[in-house]
Each structure stands twice: as structure tokens, then as C-alpha cells.
Amino acid sequence: MRLSRSLSITSLSGLPLFEEESLPVEDLLLFEVAWEVTNKVGGIYTVIQTKAKITVDEWGENYFMMGPYYEHNFKTQVEKCEPPNQAIRAAMDSLINNGCQVHFGRWLIEGSPYVILFDIGAAAWNLDRWKGDLWSACGIGLPYHDREANDSLILGSLVAWFFKELTDQLQDKLNVVAHFHEWQAGTGLVLSRSRNLPLATIFTTHATLLGRYLCAGNADFYNNLDKFDIDREAGERQIYHRYCLERAAVHCAHVFTTVSQITAVEADHMLHRNPDVVTPNGLNVRKFSAMHEFQNLHSMNKSKIQEFVRGHFYGHLDFNLEKTLFFFIAGRYEFSNKGADLFLESLSRLNYLLRVHKSDVTVVVFFIMPAKTNNFNVESLKGQAVRKQLWDTAQSVKEKFGKKLYESLLRGEIPDMSKILDRDDFTIMKRAIYATQRHSLPPVTTHNMLDDSTDPILGNIRRIGLFNGRNDRVKIVFHPEFLSSTSPLLPMDYEEFVRGCHLGVFPSYYEPWGYTPGECTVMGIPSVTTNLSGFGCFMEEHVSDPSEYGIYIVDRRFRSADESCNQLTQFMFSFCQKSRRQRIIQRNRTERLSDLLDWRYLGRFYMHARHLALSRSFPEKFRPEHLNLTSTQGFRYPRPSSVPPSPSASIHSTPHHSDEEDDDTYDEEEEAERDRLNIKAPFSVGADTDGKRTQPVENGN
């Protein structure tokens, strides 16, 4: 049974897709277990939801997802149906006949995968017995007060029970691959392995449990990875039992994977196992792709943001909106982990540089991070009301003016402009102008914050003194709520908002992957990331000169905080110097990278992990020598062909470029075709079977 893959070049921007003698999926069943199946909690939900389509395409009706049952989610997201496999039906019936509740259906997302959902509450009466089973299996005890850990044990016990019944039914007819995500699902892996069930198991950690806790406590994490007393740190945070579950799952799995190389380094120190494969997170690019219209979408959505800015800054709108750039940061409100502290300090320095160079560029920065609020603040609502009133006034005067002008031209007369508008019209316009007068500065936040005095973003804004003053070239708008198209302030969905901005800034300190810059990339919006995020590491590996493609990578791993801050400031200042035409060219290049983040390309890493798991669990059927384990390869995008080799040759010495000075010829299609032809030679991005990573080797192109 030969399983090697042969690569072929396709139209996917020069990236190869697999055309191979694939796994015999008709003789296999694939189960993916995660707490987030039909249950949106965090980023893992996005991973499994977007990956479903390519997995269903590969495995068909032999692919199943497993997770907890929640009645509301089941009724709104799942279409109930009967299992296509009689062995699965029999395994479910066995659990149901023993007092458990198991639900089956199709998850109503792209690909419509089958889901098997276990009712946690209905099986809770078994908790004490299952705690005893866990202790007997691996010596891990769970405290009664940790409900999340107890629920994960119930789910894991039900999953292991299900797999026991299923494998008994299948005998040797079909082999089972079980892929578990994160520690909440890992209990099922530990119990299945302790009972010697014939499964090929994979465990993926999207971020180590202890790593999240340590970084949330502002520890100097990456400089002290080899110095932490892991057991003591977990014990002090009262998560030792969770840490033990995670570590047990890691060491029980046939194949251990992480989502990025930086997380692989973390896992090696925190969990004491080097990942076998790195499985980067992808996106369903078709969902975000707008074909060749993404530049038009940027312009259209930018106009919506400009309308908000006109209202929010009424009375202080003394800057040119056509020379105003919109930057943003978005995500969970983790002030240090998401890099908001570094971002704010860099904005202070950027403001200084723009003022010193007398730049006519203004930067409006949006912080989209949910925090505790009680409502919109009055000033923000008033600003939008004033803007709307001014618009209505202008429209009524314009209509009156147009009618008189039309009638005058019909009579063959040149209109007397002094008579077209009467005294009442001037009175209305003067009243509208007076209504825009403001004696206070535009608000920094759009909502009333419950913890105004202790909020870290507002506290740092007070420290750096960016209060949206007239002389400030950097303005700040803190929107402490997720965006919605029904909002009376900024009626835009997140995707529309991202498309309308010029630059996303995500200088994260702890970011195992980072979907926000990835979403920017597939929408053609340049972004800032770091070499401590999985996305940043991935782009450094795959792109020869990321900044020319609109991916600016701040070094937060090998530089001091002050040096990183200066680097981020310089990235933003250089971006402000670009002309409109240069930004358009850069957006074209950024959007071209979207294929790198497509699951059609990144799905190969999951395929590789399944191959490896099968070879380790069923070596007599899937012999390692039949696996071409080095074929999981990446490609490096070259430096854009139109960019000179010296950075200084492409940056003017003046503080700002005008749109008229860019006379050099540029052909987007020609450059894209050259990039496709000049893709670097492949290199291995999966770790070898002994856990050592193969270094990239480029050819002489």
C-alpha cells in the first residue's frame, strides 16, 4: 500500500497542491475531538470550522467531529440525521442504553461535516467513578471545585467509551484515526491509550496551558523558558491537575503537533516533548476573497469609516480625510499579550515624528477590544447626530440650489449666484456651522467604561498624553465592543471594517498563531505582527522579504522592549510616508499571499500528521518506508520583481511622497506572474520523525 505524495505545480500562485495516491479513506474513519465543535469559545472554533470543507472533500462520509452537546447550539447549528455507518450507530446505542445521551447530525457550515455530540450534564452522575478510573489509569486527581476540568473528564470518558464500543464493532474491518485538540479533549486520548484501544492518535496543542498563565502574569516568558520550575509554577496557579492532563495527552499521543514553530519551542520546554509536525492554522480564503474587487471594497468601506470620523471629530476636523490613514488593533482584551502596551508607546513616538517632520498625514487608530461598559457615551452619539444633521442641511440647500440653477439655465440665463440662495438659506447654514462648535476634545473612547480609572488602555493614553488634540497627528478611538452592522455609532461588520482600514497592527508578545493578521492578509490589508506569533514565524519562513508584501514583523524575541518599540514606530512611520499609489501596489502584493493561508495548501500538514500516526500505530499496514515523510514542504515567495535589491533605492529621502512623483511603470499581472515563476525551491517545514527540524535551503534563484 503506497502512500507517497507526488507534488505538482498548479495555478494556486505557484504553490503546489498534492496529487497523490492518497490514504485509503474507504478503509479508515477519522474523528476530530474538540470542546469547540458547534460551541464557539475561542480561536480553535475558527480552526475546525474553516478546515471542515477540505477535510470532508478528502474523507467524505468517513469524517466525524466530536464535542459537547449544548441544546441551543444543536437546535441552531445542527441538522439531526442518522449515522451512515452501522458500527457508529451501534456504539451510540450502547452509550444511550446505559443512561447517556448522544446526538448525531450534520453541522451546518461549509462542508456539512457529521458531528457526534455528548451530553455532559446527562452523564454527570458517573463523575466520581470516572475520577477513580482516571486516577487508576494515570494517577491524576481532579478537585471537585474545578468544573471545567470535571466537564472535560466527563467528555473524555464518554469519548473513550464510544471508541471502545466502536472498535469492538469494527474488529479489523476499518482503522480509526482520532485527532484531539487541547487539554479539554485530551482526557479522552489518555483514557483510550490506557485501555489499549486500536486507534491512531494525534494531539494538537494550540497554546500550552501554563504558557498562557505565565504570560498573563507578565512573566519574561521566552527569555526564561529553560529556567521555569514547571511543577511549582502550575501548582502556584492551582492548575497542576490541568497541566498534568495536558502533559499526559501529549506523551500518550502517537503524534504530537502544534500550530507554529514558536509554540513548538514553548511545548518542548513546558511539556517536555518536541512536536512531530507543525500544523499551521489556515482560512477558507474563498470566504474572504473578493476576486479583483478587493481594492474597490477597500475604497467603499474606507468611506464608511470616514463618515464615522467626521462625526466623532466634529469641531476638530481640521485634518484632510483624504490624507488620513486608519490603523487598528483587535482581539481579546489581553493588554500585554496582544501588544497593546507596545503599540501605545509606539503611537506616542509616531506622533512625535509626524509633528517634527511637519507631515500632512493624520493617523486615526482604532482599538477594537471588548471591555466592561454600560452604554455609548453621550459625546460619541452627539457627534454622529451632528454629522447627520449637517448632511441633511447640506442636502436640502443643495436641492434648492439645484432647482433654481436648473430653471435659470432653461431660460437661457447665466444665474446670479448671489440670488440663488436667499437669507433663510444662509441662516440655516450658519446655524449648522455653529452647531459644530465644540469646547471639549473629541472623546478617546466611544463608550462609558465601568473601570475607567483602572483600565490599562485608558491609563496608558493618559500617560502618553494622546487626547485627540488639534496638534496631534495621531488620534485614538477606543471602541470597547465588537463591531456590528447594527451599531448606531460605527455600523460595520468586522470584515467590512478591516477592508476599510490601511494597516492592522498586532505586536503580540504571546500569540501561538494569530488569526487577525491572517485575516488582514487574505483581504489585502497590510499588517504588523511579531516573531513571537505563529503567523509571523510562518511568514518569515515562507516569504523572502515580508515587508515588501505588507507583512511587517517586529522582533520581540531578540531585542529589548525599547528597541522593539522603535522598530514598530519606524514601520508605521515608513508606512505613513508611502503615497496612495504605493499603498495600492502593496495591497496587491499582500492579497497575493492569501493562497499561503488557504487550507488547500496548509491542509497538507494535517495529512502528514495522519500518515505519521497510522505508521506508528499500525506499522504492519502502514509501514514507515511507504511514507514519503519529507514531502510536507513549504515554499518561499521571492522578493517582488519590481522592488530594487537595495531598500534605500525604493524609499525617497523626503518625509512624504506625493501621488504625482511615482512615474515608474508597474504591472500587477506581470509581477504576479514573475513571482509564480520565481518561487523558491521547496524546503521541509514539518519536523522530522525524530523531532528535529529540517532547516530551509534555498536555491540560487
Determine what percent of the chain is predicted with pLDDT higher than 90.
Answer: 69
Output the average pLDDT for the chain: 86
Locus of grid cell 482526557: 187
Note the residue count of the chain.
701
The DSSP secondary-structure symbol of 643 reads: S
The two beta strands, 63-68 and 28-33, are parallel
Task: Please enumerate in sequence order all residues whose Cβ is within 8 A of that of 419, keeping only pairs 6 or more positions apart, or say none.
Answer: none
**Cα(541)–Cα(286) distance, rounded to whole angstroms?**
24
Architecture of domain 25-278: 3-Layer(aba) Sandwich (3.40)
- The region of weakest confidence among 10-19, 466-475, 477-486 is 10-19
Mean pLDDT of 428-447: 88
Distance between CA atoms of residues 4 and 213, nearest Å:
41
Q: What pTM did the predictor assign?
A: 0.85
pLDDT reported for residue 413: 84
DSSP result, 567-586: HHHHHHHHHHHS-HHHHHHH
Dump pLDDT digits (tens) for 572-584. 999 999 999 999 9
Q: What are phi and psi of 543, to 5 degrees?
A: -125, 130
Contact 272, 231 (CB under 8 A): no
The DSSP output letter for 508 is: -
Match 466611544 to its residue by C-alpha cell: 446
* Residue the block writes with cell 483587535: 330
Per-residue confidence band for 389, with pLDDT thresholds at 50, 70 and 90 = confident
The CA-CA-CA angle for residues 217, 220, 223, to 5°, reads 150
Residue 680 confidence (pLDDT) above 70 = no
- The mean per-residue pLDDT over the stretch 432-440 comes to 83
156/150 Cα distance (integer angstroms): 10
What is the Cα Rg of the chain in Å?
29
C-beta separation of 508 from 518 below 8 A? no
Q: Which residues of 657-676 are buried (b: 16+ CB within 10 A; e: fewer)?
A: beeeebeeeeeeeebbeebb
**Percent of the chain's residues with pLDDT above 70:** 86
Dihedral sign computed on CA atoms, order 655, 661, 664, 669: positive
Four-way CATH pick for 292-377+443-596: 3.40.50.2300, 3.40.50.2000, 3.90.10.10, 3.40.50.720: 3.40.50.2000
